[in-house]
Amino acid sequence: MNSTGSHLASLPNPPKPLPQVPGPKLAPFTRTATATIQFIQELGNPEQDMDGRVWKVNIQEKEYALKMFRFHCYKFLRSSLSGNAMRRLASPQLYADYFEPFHCECRAYGRLKEENREDLAVRAYGYLLLTPQQEAEISRLIAGVDYDPDYAKAELKGRNLWGRWEEHRHLPVRAIVKELVSPQDPFTSAQLSDLWRDLEDLHRLGILVRDINVFNYMGGKLIDFGRAWTIPHPWPLNSAPEQIERLRQQEPSGLQGAIVEWGIGNGWDWGKVVIPDELNKCVTGESQETDRYGADPRLYDWRKWEKNPAAVDKFYEKELFAEEPESTW
């Protein structure tokens, strides 16, 4: 896993919980972060999930869903996935740690694990790093052609199957091992109060999901945190008040939109459907019980998990954001 010539730091060896920044982390699925994997069949819709591919796999004689993530260059992370943050972060690696879909999921699932609230989503068990041989195998299964596992010869500039750029040369494809659930409808009309309660609980745990839509639910549970921002995070330090309000409003608005979209498409009898009143109030910013838009993720007490909260505060105040011109990178 040599990263010579890369702008991104190599993954830790031996593997450690990721990402290596303050806050929640996801541990490797095995001690070495590698495993013998039998790829069985692709799940979901790869045309809709732009972050990676999900396959049904067999690991250690048990079936799981394995989500394998594409890479994103830091310039894309900065301009798009970070919301075009007003203040630049101190390094390209920090953009990956906080905004790359793989690390976003690691941080969100890490929080659910440390709070013992894995019931709020389809479970994740840990991350794996694909070997070159495994990457060649799954790439061949997906593309239907032989794939050169030699990273030094792989096509870069984001045009290859896994989205590698020069900054990702030699880095292995990263994956998260998740619970395998049978295909189900996103949710039923009877689950609407549970959907809203779970979303508010996620907010109380400092998780802003940022991608609430029909395709990210299965059986009434969220299956994807690839866009999630988990406190502690740069966004509350790097956003104007009106931008924060807009981001928070998008959560209940997204859920309300998903409910209406799925209900209309499936012919629900709206006379019998009860959309939580508090959800509707949060959509319009009229909630009286909470802070206009519901529970505020920024209020989560993340310091209780830190051995040295003062050092983490110093990191966010003095080290997270850049001072030197971008040309120095």
For the stretch 233-279, pLDDT in tens is: 998 888 888 889 999 999 999 999 999 999 999 999 999 999 999 99
3-state secondary structure of 209: coil
Q: What's the whole-number average pLDDT of the chain?
A: 89
- The whole-number pLDDT of residue 150 equals 55
The pLDDT score that the predictor gives to residue 272 is: 96
Residue 7 confidence (pLDDT): 38
Higher-confidence position of 226 and 144: 226
- Domains of the chain, by residue range, sit at 1-183, 184-305
Residue % of the chain over a pLDDT of 90: 71
pLDDT level of residue 48 (50, 70, 90 thresholds): confident
Cα separation, 179 vs 142, in Å, equals 22
* Closest C-alpha to 199, from 279, 260, 135, 130: 279
Pairing mode, if any, of strands 37-43 and 124-129? Answer: unpaired
Report which of 4, 7, 5, 107 is spatially closest to residue 326, judged by C-alpha positions: 7
Q: How far is CA 223 from each of CA 116, 227, 301, rounded to the nearest angstrom?
A: 17, 12, 25
Share of the chain above pLDDT 70, in %: 88
pLDDT digits 0-9 by tens, 125-176: 999 999 999 999 999 999 876 666 554 455 566 667 899 888 898 899 999 9
**C-alpha separations of 302 from 34, 208, 229, 310, 314 in Å:** 30, 14, 13, 12, 15
**Residue 183, Cβ density class (10 Å: 0-12 exposed, 13-18 middle, ≥19 buried):** exposed
- Find out whether 110 and 26 touch, Cβ atoms under 8 Å: yes
14 compared with 43, residue with greater pLDDT: 43
